[in-house]
């Protein structure tokens, strides 16, 4: 095996547990999962599908908070160890670029990505149907919501953590107005975060296995490695009783990230534990965020479990990249740039 390194910052105080002997597969769960339980703050029934980041000397999170009226909004949270979280009772207040209130009707499945010192929040918003919403903050006190980057219907907007060829790059999963029984991952570029184009197809649902046969969607922001952009994503299969969401992993070309280099033919984590199998939506593992330490190669994956809890799982860049290459199956023309 070639040695694989993360290209990025060090974060020695991130959560970590060594791989237990009982582990099956390249990703193992935190022993005290879930790290966020039901009713985590006043008026909030469940938190899941959420994103965290290192900020100054502690950790910050943007959380999908299902309020007790059943509607999702985004709430901030803070933690010293990225495991025990204090969730704010008030939702994030967004303003437009003039400083006027610019609140989404609902907001779910946030990602949180730092690019050139600014933190971007990307979520699923209401734009006469499900669409990608975006906002930015430098201090986690003022949140400036920007124009929606794409037309509806779309979900799972995932920003790359640096510009590529001078452009911002965002993945998304065009969808329909409902629970969407299809879906591939596309990529778009922007010179200014206002106008977006050069859309490319990145990867398709399907393949020999059935675990990602219905649809797929981007997960945490891709991690830059010496082998390419490592991205965890969700793959969905259908059953007589609904969808099952598992986690997969893919490696995209560093300079042309619409090209897939390697993609795991199997899931790397699938619902098995009680907090993944049982909840508001049974059988969901939905990764939205990672913390990682370039020096040690350690990666902590934050994932929503059963639309009810937040779980943490671990791997190392060497272990997961080796696994993806070993189990590689690049589907259809995903190795191409994907123009038409």
**Residue 155 beta carbon to its own copies: minimum distance, rounded to whole angstroms:** 12
Q: Which two tokens stand for residue 13?
A: 């105080």
By three-state DSSP, how is residue 12 classified?
coil
Judged by CB under 8 A, the number of residues near its own copies is 39
C-alpha separations of 20 from 35, 59, 84, 304 in Å:
18, 26, 22, 22
* Total residue length of the chain: 340
* Residue 190 makes contact with its own copies by CB under 8 A: yes
* Residue 339 makes contact with its own copies by CB under 8 A: yes
Nearer CB in complex with its own copies: 184/276: 184
* Residue 129 makes contact with its own copies by CB under 8 A: yes
Residues 6+ apart with CB under 8 A from 242: 281, 282, 283
Q: Please, which of residues 271-330 interact with its own copies by CB under 8 A?
A: none
Nearer CB in complex with its own copies: 46/155: 155
Among 33, 137, 156, 188, binds its own copies (CB under 8 A): 188
**Residue 169 beta carbon to its own copies: minimum distance, rounded to whole angstroms:** 13
DSSP H helices, 213-305, are 274-277
* Residue 206 makes contact with its own copies by CB under 8 A: no
Among 111, 201, 215, 259, binds its own copies (CB under 8 A): 201
* Residue 204 makes contact with its own copies by CB under 8 A: yes
Per-position DSSP letters for 38-72, written without gaps between them = SS-BTTEEEEEEEEEEEETTEEEEEEEEEETTS-E
* Residue 174 makes contact with its own copies by CB under 8 A: yes
Residues 6+ apart with CB under 8 A from 24: none
Only segment of 5-13, 82-90, 125-133, 288-296 that touches its own copies (CB under 8 A): 125-133
Distance CA 279, CA 245 (A): 13
Q: Which two tokens stand for residue 272?
A: 């098995």
* Residue 177 makes contact with its own copies by CB under 8 A: yes
- The helix or strand, by DSSP H or E, that contains position 321, with its residue range, turns out to be helix 317-326
Q: Which of 218, 221, 171 is nearest to 199 (CA)?
A: 171
Burial class (CB in 10 A: 0-12, 13-18, 19+), 186: buried
* Residue 212 makes contact with its own copies by CB under 8 A: no
Only segment of 46-54, 111-119, 193-201, 292-300 that touches its own copies (CB under 8 A): 193-201
**Residue 229 beta carbon to its own copies: minimum distance, rounded to whole angstroms:** 20
Strand pairing report for 298-305 and 309-316 = antiparallel
Among 50, 154, 308, 327, binds its own copies (CB under 8 A): 154
Nearer CB in complex with its own copies: 70/197: 197
Contact positions vs its own copies (CB under 8 A): 102, 104-105, 125-129, 147-154, 172, 174, 176-177, 182, 184, 186, 188-192, 194-199, 201, 204, 338-340
């Amino acid at each position: 095996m070639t040695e694989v390194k993360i290209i990025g910052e060090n974060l020695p105080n991130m959560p970590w547990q060594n791989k237990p002997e009982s582990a099956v597969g390249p990703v193992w769960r935190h022993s005290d999962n879930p790290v966020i339980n039901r009713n985590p703050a006043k008026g909030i029934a469940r938190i899941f599908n959420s994103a965290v980041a290192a900020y100054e000397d502690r950790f910050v999170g943007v959380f999908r908070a299902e309020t007790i009226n059943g509607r999702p909004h985004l709430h901030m949270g803070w933690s010293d160890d990225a495991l025990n979280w204090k969730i704010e009772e008030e939702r994030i207040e967004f303003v437009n670029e003039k400083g006027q209130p610019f609140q989404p009707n609902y907001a779910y499945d946030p990602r949180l990505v730092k690019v050139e010192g600014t933190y971007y929040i990307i979520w699923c918003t209401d734009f006469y149907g499900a669409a990608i919403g975006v906002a930015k903050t430098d201090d986690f006190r003022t949140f400036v919501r920007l124009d929606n980057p794409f037309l509806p219907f779309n979900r799972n907007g995932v920003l790359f953590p640096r510009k590529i060829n001078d452009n911002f790059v965002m993945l998304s999963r065009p969808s329909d107005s409902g629970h969407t029984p299809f879906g591939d991952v596309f990529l778009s570029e922007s010179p200014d975060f206002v106008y977006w184009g050069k859309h490319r197809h990145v990867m398709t649902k399907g393949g020999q296995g059935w675990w990602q046969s219905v649809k797929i969607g981007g997960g945490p922001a891709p991690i830059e490695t010496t082998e390419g952009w490592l991205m965890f994503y969700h793959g969905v299969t259908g059953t007589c009783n609904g969808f099952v969401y598992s986690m997969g992993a893919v490696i995209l070309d560093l300079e042309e990230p619409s090209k897939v280099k390697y993609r795991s033919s199997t899931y790397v984590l699938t619902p098995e534990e009680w907090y993944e199998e049982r909840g508001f939506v049974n059988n969901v593992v939905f990764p939205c965020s990672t913390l990682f330490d370039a020096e040690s190669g350690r990666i902590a994956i934050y994932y929503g479990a059963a639309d009810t809890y937040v779980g943490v799982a671990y791997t190392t860049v060497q272990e997961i990249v080796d696994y993806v290459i070993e189990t590689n199956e690049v589907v259809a023309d995903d190795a191409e740039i994907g123009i038409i």
